[in-house]
Amino acid sequence: MNVKDIAKQARRSAAELAAAPTERKNQALKLMGEKLSERAGEVLSANEEDLCRAEGDGLEQKLVARLRFGEDKISSRVRCLEKIAALEDPVGQTFAAGRRPNGLEVARVRVPLGVILMIYEARPHVTVNAGAFCLKSGNAAILRGGSEARQCNEMLGALWRESLTEAGLPEDAVQVVSGSHEEIGELLTLDEYVDLVIPRGGKGLIRSIAEKSRIPVIKHFEGVCHVYIDDGADVARAIEIAIDSKCLMPEVCNAMETVLVAEGASGAMGDIVEAFSRHGVTVRGCERTRELAEGVEPADEDDWRTEYLDTVVSIRVVGDVADAIEHINKYGSHHTDSIVTDSESRARRFLAGVDSGVVLVNASTMFCDGESLGMGAEIGISTDKLHARGPMGLEELTTYKFAIRGDGHVMGNWNG
Amino acid sequence: MNVKDIAKQARRSAAELAAAPTERKNQALKLMGEKLSERAGEVLSANEEDLCRAEGDGLEQKLVARLRFGEDKISSRVRCLEKIAALEDPVGQTFAAGRRPNGLEVARVRVPLGVILMIYEARPHVTVNAGAFCLKSGNAAILRGGSEARQCNEMLGALWRESLTEAGLPEDAVQVVSGSHEEIGELLTLDEYVDLVIPRGGKGLIRSIAEKSRIPVIKHFEGVCHVYIDDGADVARAIEIAIDSKCLMPEVCNAMETVLVAEGASGAMGDIVEAFSRHGVTVRGCERTRELAEGVEPADEDDWRTEYLDTVVSIRVVGDVADAIEHINKYGSHHTDSIVTDSESRARRFLAGVDSGVVLVNASTMFCDGESLGMGAEIGISTDKLHARGPMGLEELTTYKFAIRGDGHVMGNWNG
């Protein structure tokens, strides 16, 4: 692949896409959905080839599972495309607009960022989602999935090209690329053509991209998420929130990994541990936890920093809300953390003190997702602070320009 | 200097500052203003030492001028501190808040970014402004001015420390550092402690920082700004806007460098050139310009890319608004560009087509400043697209977190 050509084609497409009417972008999304349904057989057999190769290569079973793109996944992608088509188009929206005392009309107008490069592992569904998100927000996309998903991604890339062409949009607006590590390295230097890099995957991948890239990166790091059970919290409610946060989807980044229990609430430890065991979750705990309940494996310092993404939980007893905040800011990943409490003052303290993108009171960490938060859907969850934090929707893929209208306004007096 | 200690002290101060009440931050700003006035003599003599050394070292005259921090500059800094104290505190403001159909209360709350590193050349007044901006927005600041301004910056750093301490804030909330290029290079790797780098200065400085930094950078590049005079525009108005954009403050980044004149408006070229000459501006022009008016030096390709920052202007005749947009996007720096027109459709086309942070209709490029745009004041003008574009005020130095309140909300059904 010629890296520079890909980047230049993306830049050219972006200029066209920025001015494309919403209907045309929605039309391309609709066509992509239709093609995915009609040609599901081809997509499934491309995925089958990837799966065979992956098993032959002895890929880890967890990764093979992520690689699978079955009929259920295809129909959920079709629904996702419909959902994104139904979302409001952020491009052209104005905000913070008004008339200045001197009569100047000042507005900020949302415009696309330009060209977005997504780098991700396995999961071919990202090739559909990320393409749709970039397209709807008027950005050209360069999608670089993992080599293990190559066949399926190429097939999806072909469907994108057809959908774009039939909708009258530039066919290079969504480019699915493979390319070696060196080629991706080269792509990451082309800040003249690419405006943003979003890496999704393991910590190592993300860090290496952030270090190499000359293009701004919004990192989507792991989620070491917490539920803190406060002194005086309703025990049944606390357990339900902790179980939901851990067990509903243990494999997602906003699943909880560590329960912090206030010393004053530690009388409920037996019930807490019992509930996790009943749901098939292995419990590791600090010494105090192990004094309070049976069947708890010892947890060490490493556990507090670990994203299990599995049916394993760590539990630690802390003094009070201040200790909980300290633990979370020290060991967590600034992602999603929740307090279960009956105290308004401690709820406020937790909301203010925890330095994470999403902080919840009396709710499961599962609610850290774009749809729950009213953004329609999300392209990912940023663990960065610049530009976008927490779930990223369409708006987070735009920037703005100041549009200013005067009536011959000047600052100096040139008649003197 | 121990780079890591500086970064750690900043991080610690940032945690304290994030929770500091507005009054205390304003108190520190007020104290800084008082100290600047009362101890102006010491500041002036520190600046005098820097000036002597600079002249001894044979520093360029333009840089020596920027280095001067006279009584007028001191009193304008005192006013600037008062202005920033009077601005609304963005920290704690909520936006995009509402109740979801399931009853979850979702809000985004503005919080400080954390630690901001400013790297800049000469101009000691940045040490006052940038410190005040970071402080008011709840961010700890590390300020690294040019070595040529060392004495004056150290003096200002001492005044910051005193002001912070007397206001009951951490004395390391504003740190003025010197340090070698190697030490600054080390600082730029400490993304664990520093959240944002804002470099201001020459293109070379900014590019080198952006390439070295592991910390996100918001670049403040040069301004190659344009005024486009459309076919049918009122000639007197067009000339007044062009003269204001060039002559009011030729040394600032939003001063205009190139006038584009529609072929249909080229009948006014004699008057345009004559107006510039009358205001002491050297005119360089394309061939067509030189056919149309006397006393125009030839401009070449390089001129279209040059930020003169001086009483020099380049003029080019273009076909129409489409050609003007193409020229601006190709040769400009995506900073500030203006159209003078009587046509609403061409105004819209220009606003949509020019890919710059600030785009104006019938107004001077001088209005690209934080105060004119209703932001109170500005810490700089971003030529980047991520996070902040155009003038950056207090709000642009914050990020947000999602604060979510439920009432025992879970996603799964755990009673089954």
- Separation between Cα atoms, residue A8 and residue A14, nearest integer Å: 10
Which of A244, A367, A404 has the CB atom closest to B363's CB atom?
Answer: A404
Per-residue model confidence as pLDDT tens for chain B (416 residues): 799 999 999 999 999 999 999 999 999 999 999 999 999 999 999 999 999 999 999 888 878 888 999 999 999 999 999 999 999 999 999 999 999 999 999 999 999 999 999 999 878 999 999 999 999 999 999 999 998 999 999 999 999 999 999 999 999 999 999 988 899 999 999 999 999 999 988 888 888 998 889 899 998 888 999 999 999 999 999 999 999 999 999 989 999 999 999 999 999 999 999 999 999 999 999 999 999 999 999 999 999 999 999 999 999 999 999 999 999 999 999 999 999 999 999 999 999 999 999 999 999 999 999 889 988 888 989 999 999 999 999 999 999 999 999 999 999 988 75
Across the interface, whether the CB atoms of B351 and A399 are under 8 A apart is answered no
Residues A178-192 have a mean pLDDT of 92
The average pLDDT across A110-122 equals 94
Amino acid at B336: T
Please check whether residue A28 lies inside any domain of the structure.
yes
Cβ–Cβ < 8 Å for A393, A375:
yes
**At B257, phi and psi to the nearest 5?**
-115, -30
Tell me the residue range of the domain where B348 lies: 225-367
d(CA B160, CA B378): 20
Q: Do B195 and A385 touch (CB under 8 A)?
A: yes
CB neighbour list of residue B21: distance below 8 Å, 6 or more residues apart: none
pLDDT of residue B48: 96
Q: How many CB atoms lie within 10 A of CB B196?
A: 23
In Å, how far is A400's CA from the nearest CA of chain B?
7
A&B contacts, CB < 8 Å: 199
For residue A129, how many C-alpha atoms fall within 13 Å in the half-sphere facing its CB? 22
Q: What angle is formed at CA B15 by the lines to CA B164 and CA A252, rounded to 5 degrees? A: 160
Tokens of B272: 């345009």
Q: What is the CA radius of gyration of chain A?
A: 24
Residues A13 and A35 placed together within one structural domain of the fold:
yes
Q: In what order do the strands lie in the sheet with A312-318?
A: A297-298, A282-285, A312-318, A256-262, A225-229, A336-340, A358-363, B398-409, B105-112, B94-99
pLDDT confidence band for A190 (50 / 70 / 90): very high
In a domain, B392, yes or no: yes
Q: Flag whether A410 is in a domain.
A: no
Contact criterion met (CB below 8 Å) for B352 and B339:
no
Q: Tokens at residue A337, please?
A: 């953390």
Contact (CB<8Å) B211/A214: yes
Which residues of B are less than 8 Å from A387 in CB distance? 386-387
Asked if residue B16 lies in contact with residue B140, where contact means CB atoms within 8 angstroms, the answer is no
pLDDT given at position A416: 54
Residue A10 shares a structural domain with residue A34: yes
pLDDT in the model for residue A77: 94
DSSP for B84-109, please give it: HHHSPP-TT-EEEEEE-TTS-EEEEE
Q: State how far residue B49 is from chain A, nearest Cα, in angstroms.
A: 35
Judgement on whether residues A111 and A239 belong to the same structural domain of the protein: no
- pLDDT of amino acid A278: 97
Asked if the Cβ–Cβ distance from A358 to B98 is below 8 Å, we say: no
Residues of chain A with C-beta less than 8 angstroms from the C-beta of B410: 240-241, 243-244, 363-364, 366
Strand intervals (E) in A230-347: 256-262, 282-285, 297-298, 312-318, 336-340
Q: Say if residue A352 is in the same domain as residue A398.
A: no
Interface with A, mutate which of B279, B329, B358, B410 (most A CBs under 10 A): B410
Q: Are the beta carbons of A373 and B404 separated by less than 8 Å?
A: yes
Domain CATH for B31: 3.40.605.10
Rounded (10°) CA dihedral B24, B172, B214, B207: 90
pLDDT of residue A323: 98
Residue B110 is assigned to a structural domain of this protein: yes
Q: What is the mean pLDDT of residues A391-414?
A: 96
Residues of B in contact with A372 (CB under 8 A): 100, 102, 104
Query: Does B292 share its domain with B213?
Result: no
How many residues can be counted in chain B? Answer: 416
Asked whether residue B259 falls in the same domain as residue B209, the answer is: no
- Rounded CA separation B136/B300 (Å): 46
Mutate to test the interface with A, among B102, B401, B415 (most CBs of A within 10 A): B401
By Cβ distance, the residue of A113, A216, A362 closest to B405 is A362
Interface test with A, best of B399, B400, B413 (most A CBs within 10 A): B399
Residue B234 to residue A408, Cβ atoms within 8 A: yes
Q: Do B407 and A113 touch (CB under 8 A)?
A: no
Q: Give the number of other Cβ atoms within 10 Å of residue A219's Cβ.
A: 19
Return the amino acid letter for A28. Answer: A
Amino acid at A219: K
Searching chain B, which residue's CA lies closest to the CA of residue A278?
B414
ipTM of the complex: 0.93
Cross-chain residue pair B210–A211, CB shorter than 8 Å: no
Query: Which of residues B155 and A220 earns the better pLDDT score?
Result: B155
In this structure, are B288 and B332 located in the same domain?
A: yes
Q: Do B386 and A352 touch (CB under 8 A)?
A: no
Q: Chain A contacts of B195, Cβ < 8 Å?
A: 385-386
Nearest-by-Cβ selection for B357 from A196, A244, A402:
A402
* H-only helix segments in A253-343: 269-278, 287-292, 301-304, 321-331
- To the question of pTM greater than 0.90 for the whole model, the response is yes
pLDDT the model gives residue A291: 97
In a domain, B111, yes or no: yes
Angle, CA of B404, B410 and B412, to the nearest 5°: 145
Q: How confident is the model at residue A311 (pLDDT cuts 50, 70, 90)?
A: very high
CA nearest to B219 within chain A: A216
Domain match, B185 and B279 both:
no
Q: Do A281 and A247 touch, CB atoms closer than 8 A?
A: yes
Tracing tokens 């979850």 back to the chain, one arrives at: B104
**Could you tell me what percent of chain A has a pLDDT over 70?**
100
Would the CB atoms of B409 and A364 count as touching at under 8 Å? yes
CB atoms B113 and A385 under 8 Å: yes
Across the interface, do B410 and A366 touch by the CB < 8 Å criterion? yes
Reduced to 3 states (helix: H, G, I; strand: E, B; else coil), residue A371 is coil
- pLDDT attached to residue B416: 54
Separation of alpha carbons A288 and A176, rounded Å: 52
| Structural domain contains residue A413 | no
Taking the CA of residue B404 and the nearest CA in chain A, the distance in Å comes to 5
Q: Residue A296 in contact with residue A273, Cβ under 8 Å?
A: yes
Residue of chain A nearest B369, judged by CA positions:
A402
The answer to whether position B231 is within a domain reads yes
Domain total of chain A: 2
Q: How high is the mean pLDDT of chain A?
A: 95
Q: Do residue B406 and residue A367 have CB atoms under 8 angstroms apart?
A: yes
CATH code of the domain containing B355: 3.40.309.10
Tokens of A199: 């890496």
A412 neighbourhood in chain B, CB within 8 Å: 243-244, 247-248, 366
A170 with A313, same domain: the answer is no
Chain B, nearest residue to A385 by Cα:
B399
Q: How far apart are CA A289 and CA A387, in angstroms?
A: 40
**Closest among A411, A375, A413 to A391, alpha carbons compared:** A375
Burial (Cβ within 10 Å: 0-12, 13-18, ≥19) of residue B153: buried
Question: Which is more confident, A415 or B301?
Answer: B301
Residue B136 is which amino acid? K
Q: Are residues A284 and A327 in the same domain?
A: yes
Among the partner residues B360, B364, B406, nearest to A361 by beta-carbon distance: B406
Nearest CA in chain A to B234: A408
User: pLDDT tens digits, residue range A321-376?
Assistant: 999 999 999 999 999 999 999 999 999 999 999 999 999 999 999 999 988 998 88
Q: Which residue of B362, B384, B390 is in closest CB contact with A406?
A: B362
For residues A153 and A124, give the distance between their C-alpha atoms in angstroms, rounded to a whole number.
Answer: 6
Does B410 fall in a domain? no
Question: How far lies A288's CA from each of A264, A293, A315, A317, in Å?
Answer: 13, 9, 10, 6
CB of B364 closer than 8 Å to CB of B259:
no
Indicate the residue type of A94: T
Sheet holding B174-176, edge to edge: B174-176, B140-144, B115-120, B196-200
Whether residues A237 and B401 touch (CB distance < 8 A) is answered with no
Asked if A352's CB is within 8 angstroms of B19's CB, the reply is yes
The partner residues of B391 in beta bridges, in order of sequence, read B381
Q: Inter-chain contact A410–B366, Cβ cutoff 8 Å?
A: yes
B215 shares its domain with B230: no
Contacts of A12 in chain B (CB under 8 A): none
Residue written as token pair 């293990």: A148
Residues A164 and A242 in one domain: no
For helices B71-86 and B40-56, angle between their N-to-C axes, nearest 10 degrees: 120
Location of structure tokens 């486009």: B228
* Nearest C-alpha in A relative to B399: A385
Token pair for residue A33? 């959905």
User: CA B236 to CA A211: how far, in whole Å?
Assistant: 53
